[in-house]
Structure 1
């Protein structure tokens, strides 16, 4: 059996209590403030990091452009087009000395015909194959270093492969290294 009790105050009749107490309201406001501050911190961090993704994506686009271009060139100045016979082979000429890497004379990038012509460790503004600055990439710089690296790949001789190291410098002054190996085939 259940009993219901109704309260009566000073003869005003019955009164049912509803609502929140002051303590409950203060606790609710504190919990809400802590939760919202966490959400604001996450949103703020996301907004600060959003440009980083765009900067890194653009840097990788530049790296891909350069690596595609360099990888399509012949291995060495002394290797004929098509790669046969390879330089330093019994039937081929000697490969270029590493100290001679870089463009021949005043050769411009649109005339580069082999991998080591691109050797230029000094940073230059990102450009296309015709050496025209890339629109929307003017704040990016590229440095290219070419070196023999056959033994790094387990080959018998260093001159059987070249390592192409690109360093992309972003507008945030971050340096992103990218490496490609090109073998003498």
Structure 2
């Protein structure tokens, strides 16, 4: 009896995968899965950070705006004219020392508060060359620190 080679060839080809191919596939999929899960874990851990940073920025900006809207010095009249330490008529000598009434810029030097649980807001005011550098630092949860600073001129 003669066998037809095309009929035999149809039944001799390999179906499935070898053990080596299966092991290589599992290793590749494991590496890809672990990288993907590490990325998801990192994003899940840090997903609240933008909210914390925005709140810290809002707190710093609000305090900075509040301070910069005040008079330069206790001896500066409302409207700022004549500025203290100026040569204008009626000008007084600048005080440049903080007091407790919080009605001018330098009164906020070393003022600290806690507007929300976990958030601390610290202010420093440094005077030099007729300018006051106001620095507001907010320390937020997760050791996030944000600092805003601006100069207030005597005018």
**What is the TM-score of this pair, normalised by structure 2?**
0.84
Q: Please name the residue that 2:133 is paired with.
A: 163
Q: Please name the residue that 1:58 is paired with.
A: 55
* 8 Å contact kept, 1:144–1:166: yes
Show CA shifts across 1:73-115 (max 9, x none): 1111111111111111012111113xx2242xxx3xxxx3211
Q: CA RMSD in A?
A: 2.1
Q: Using the alignment, how far apart are the partners of 1:19 and 1:125 within structure 2?
A: 67
Kindly indicate whether residue 134 of structure 2 is the aligned counterpart of residue 144 of structure 1.
no
Q: Please name the residue that 1:155 is paired with.
A: none
Q: Please name the residue that 1:124 is paired with.
A: 113
Q: Using the alignment, how far apart are the partners of 2:95 and 2:143 within structure 1?
A: 34
Q: Whose RCO is larger (CA < 8 A, sep 6+)?
A: 2
* 8 Å contact kept, 2:56–2:146: yes
Which blocks of at least 5 consecutive residues in structure 1 are unaligned? 127-136, 150-157
- Deviation, 1:173, is 4.2
Q: Please name the residue that 2:150 is paired with.
A: 180
Q: Using the alignment, how far apart are the partners of 1:6 and 1:147 within structure 2?
A: 95
Q: Please name the residue that 1:68 is paired with.
A: 65
Change (3 A) 1:30 1:173: closer
Runs of 4+ in 1 over 6 A off after TM superposition: none
